[in-house]
Amino acid sequence: MKNAILSGIRQGALSRRCLLGAAFFALILLLASVNSLMDAFQTEPVAGFHGKLICDAMESDAAHFFVPILSTLPFAARYVEEIKSKYARSLLYRSSRAAYLAGKIAACFTSGGLVLVLGILIAYALAAIMLIPMEAPLPKNTEPTNWFQILLPSLGLFFLSGGLWALVGMTASTWMESRYIAYAAPFVLYYVLIMLYERYFPTFYVLDPRAWLLPSPRWIGEGWGEALLVMELSVVSALIFSLRAGRRLMEI
């Protein structure tokens, strides 16, 4: 089982879809910061501006819009593709159903989170390369803000949310065995939850999936509460996938 899990993770994390999705997410973050970038080229930004730029971009509507889309890109449709191509049958000759399912769950969750984290890190690196030479030094006796340290909790939450939506897509695909369902279902559910929160339950903030992406004082632990909720939902989605996909694998 260990080999199946590691092989699946490598397959998802090193796939072309994952790398392309990460590059696209980095582009989205930079485009969300275009107004701030234009101001930076016209004036002299203070030290640390590059980090604040990316932190602000992660809070933008553009970044949140693409989370349920890009997280499904690397691996959410892989199960359906293997079932339809009969490739799953050949894999089951070399491993058990439990190992196969565990590998798919681990690879899907990891690649779904990694595509967002890599995108953020690429955007941060590009912003640092462009802006650090332009940034003015801080006044004497002024402590610099460590924006990368501030970024780390959000990186973890983006990773967990990306993994959750990737699992939701893969689980949804087991109903109709359609790769399009794997890509569309997380996006639809994401915005149904936002609509329910904004129109009917405005005080029930845990219903808003955008709130799962950034640490907030409204949650217990300012980050741990969001992480715990997303991990619980991921476990539920993984269990549902295991039940449905396990039954389907018994038929091939």
Q: How many whole angstroms separate alpha carbon 97 and alpha carbon 76?
A: 18
What is the average pLDDT across 75-97? 83
Structure tokens at 106: 């681990």
pTM as predicted: 0.90
Instruction: Tell me how many degrees the CA angle 17-27-57 measures, rounded to the nearest 5.
Output: 120
Q: What is the pLDDT of residues 16-65, one digit of tens each?
A: 889 999 999 999 999 998 877 777 666 767 777 888 889 889 999 999 99
Domain membership of residue 234 as a residue range: 2-249
The DSSP secondary structure of 149-194, one letter per residue, reads HHHHHHHHHHHHHHHHHHHHHHHHHHHHT-HHHHHHHHHHHHHHHH
How many domains, the chain?
Answer: 1
Name the residue type at position 163.
Answer: G
